Amino acid sequence: MYGSRTPSERELRIIELVSQGLKNGEIAQAMGTTEFAVKNYLRAIYDKLGLWNRVELALWYEARKHRRETIN
C-alpha cells in the first residue's frame, strides 16, 4: 500500500539528518557515503513513505519522534 512501508535503520538515520537541516553533501559525509547515494536513498524514502520533499520528510520524522517520546 502506498506510503505504508517502514524505513530501514539507515533510511531513518538519513531522515534524522534531513530533519536537522543538513544538506545532501553533509549527510553523505556524516554517513561515509556519496552525495549520489544520499539522493538515491531520499528518492526511495519519499516513495516508501508517500512524501514529496524534505519539508514533508522532516515533518513526518518530527511527528513520529514526539509520538515515541510520549510512549516512552
Q: What is the CATH number of the domain that holds 27?
A: 1.10.10.10
pLDDT at position 66, please?
75
| Structural domain includes residue 2 | no
pLDDT digit string, tens, across residues 30-71: 999 999 999 999 999 999 999 999 999 999 999 998 776 655
Q: Is residue 4, in this structure, part of any structural domain at all?
A: no
pTM of the model: 0.84
Which structural domain range is residue 13 located in? 9-71
Residue 38 lies in a domain: yes
> Is residue 15 situated within a structural domain?
yes
Provide the CB-side half-sphere exposure for 7 (13 A, CA).
22
Whether 47 and 4 have beta carbons less than 8 Å apart is answered as no
pLDDT value of residue 34: 98
Residue 65 within any structural domain of the chain: yes
Instruction: For the chain, give the longest Cα–Cα distance.
Output: 36
What total of structural domains would you count in the chain?
1
Picking from 21, 47, 68, the residue whose alpha carbon sits closest to that of residue 30 is 21
Contact by Cβ (8 Å): 39, 24: yes
**How much is the pLDDT for 68?**
62
Q: Is residue 3 part of a domain?
A: no
